[in-house]
Structure 1
Amino acid sequence: MDMKKFMVLITCLLFGFYSLFSGKSFGQQKVLNIAGIHQLVSDSKSEHERQETARNRQAQNTVNEQANKTLLFKLKDSYRLLQSRFSFLGMAVSAAEVGLNASPLIAKIVAEQSRLYDAAVRDPLLLPLVYQSEMEFVVRAKDLSGYLLGLVLSYGALNQMKISDRKILFDHVITELQQIAALSAGMVRLLDQANLSSVLMGMNPFSDFISTDKSVVEDILRNAKALGL
């Protein structure tokens, strides 16, 4: 019931009471239940406010549901892209000299990303956080893939380098994968041990992670909080 209809209803009620008692004597008019009329008006107003609150709440729920659906579609796309990037990385490290050390790290990252994705699908509250973290992993996987591809294409030149120099180049791949794995493991620990409200208030679950990547974690949490508003 909108405000216009509400005012019309109140006017009709008051007019009805006036018509009912207007033809009676002054003594009869004195028994008119003024308190009852006020109570009726108050009850009608309260009912109107309850209906307005219910409509507003339903509208907000609809908006939230639509936002979650949109974010879920984005999460599915980013997850497919992430799987594709790490699949390529798996082939690239096999062609390079780091397959023995890199392959287990890639397998671990893929498994943990699968856990994060499943958790977000089950609980829409986790969607902003998991989506933002996946986007970070997609970018890192892309950069590392480009680096590895460059190494593979330059294999002839690499063979002419000192073993120690070549090792520095390939060790960078392992270091980067270790950092990605640490971030991924931190996200899993976050979902396993921390409550969501603490996370969205800025909690850092990577206290044992190297300081150079703390800004990455803070960006993920900040962006996730913004997406959840």
Structure 2
Amino acid sequence: MKIWLILLLLTAQAASAQRIIIDRGHLKAVLENNAARLTAEQGYQRGLNETLSSLKGIQVNLSAVIFTEQLIYNSLAQVDQGLKSALAVRQIGSLTMEIISAGRQVLSQAASSPHLLLFAEQTCRQMAGRGTRLAGEVSDLVLKEGENVLMDFGKRDALLKKISLELKTIRALLYSIQKCMYWAAHRGLLRSVNPFSSFVNTDKRMVENLLLNYKMITKK
């Protein structure tokens, strides 16, 4: 028992004899490291906030750019539609002038030789029928759709294309009438009326060749 008491006393004296030693250099390094780490974290956070703010600004600017591009695209689309319509109207005007000019030439030829129109009678009927149908279709469409038909790009383009196509057909029919009258005048009325004249001429040439060959054979 005494031994245990002696040991406890010696241990207590040894413990009370220990001193706390502080390494100032190590403590300074630790504090500087913590300060540097804290400063770096704060700088990183500030940089992150600035980056987020810049991204938001970029998003706003991109939205404005996209909106501007949409406006430009819509404007260009409208201008393109307007140009298409203007070109179609210009083409229709040109076709109309050509039809008027060709019609005057046909009337001029018919005034001096009215019998030539007999060779273009069917073509004249086709042209008159197409002109009547075109006027009726345009009138029906305008009456059905009202004034808004010219505001709708699709309906307006379809109407202009229809008019242009029919006018081209009428112009082609007029040219056909002119050609029929021209060839009838130059080949002669009787030759144009007789559809078998070419066959008769061909047969005549064949007979003449046969007779010529026969004469040559008999002479030998």
Quickly name the TM-score band, shorter chain normalised: 0.3 to 0.5
TM-score, length basis structure 2: 0.39
Richer in helix (by share): 2
Q: Larger RCO: Structure 1 or Structure 2 (Cα < 8 Å, ≥ 6 residues apart)?
A: 2
